[in-house]
């Protein structure tokens, strides 16, 4: 199983939007951290865009680097992104539609995918911000 955590945000020192993620690989016996990345997004202008871009970056990494038939469980603290990608809420903001379409395209290529909301406290514990 692939377990991923992601988050988007604003680095006030660098005055740039960024996203970060951690990927863990799990089997019946243990869980190992596979990788951790932080990327700056100069094209992003809002927190919601940073959240979407972070999820897109994580899914692209998983799609291109890991076996597609493994179950994938992604967690993030953006209720908006989680509800929209899980098709519980509509996309109203035009600036998020391209991110949404790209994520849905990747999501449909994966055999076993779930996206869930987790608390900000857990994201800070896992990702450190």
Q: What are phi and psi of 15, to 5 degrees?
A: 55, 45
β-bridge partners, 76? 6, 117
The tokens of 7 are what? 């988050």
* Residue 82 pLDDT: 98
What is the model's pLDDT at position 76?
Answer: 98
Distance CA 61, CA 64 (A): 5
| 10-residue stretch averages of pLDDT, the chain, 129 residues long | 97 95 94 95 95 97 90 97 97 95 93 95 94
CA dihedral (93, 96, 102, 108) positive or negative: negative
Q: Domain 2-127 adopts which CATH fold?
A: Nucleotidyltransferase; domain 5 (3.30.420)
User: Could you tell me the two tokens for 115?
Assistant: 């996206």
Each domain of the chain, given as residue ranges in start order, spans 2-127
Determine the pLDDT at residue 28: 84
Give the global pTM: 0.94
pLDDT digits 0-9 by tens, 34-45: 999 999 999 999
- Among 2, 3, 1, 7, CA closest to 127: 7
Cα distances from 13 to residues 17, 35, 73, 86, 87, in angstroms, run 11, 25, 32, 33, 35
Do 17 and 10 meet the contact criterion of CB atoms below 8 Å apart? yes
């Amino acid at each position: 199983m692939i377990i991923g955590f992601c988050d988007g945000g604003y680095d006030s020192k660098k005055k740039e939007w960024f996203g970060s993620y951690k990927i863990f690989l799990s089997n019946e016996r243990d869980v190992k951290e596979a990788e951790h990345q932080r990327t700056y997004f100069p094209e992003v202008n809002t927190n919601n865009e940073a959240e979407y871009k972070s999820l897109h970056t994580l899914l692209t990494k998983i799609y291109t680097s890991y076996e597609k038939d493994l179950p994938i469980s992604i967690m993030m603290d953006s209720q908006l992104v989680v509800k929209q990608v899980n098709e519980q809420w509509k996309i109203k903001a035009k600036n998020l539609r391209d991110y949404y379409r790209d994520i849905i395209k990747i999501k449909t290529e994966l055999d076993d995918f779930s996206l869930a909301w987790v608390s900000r406290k857990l994201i800070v514990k896992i990702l450190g911000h």
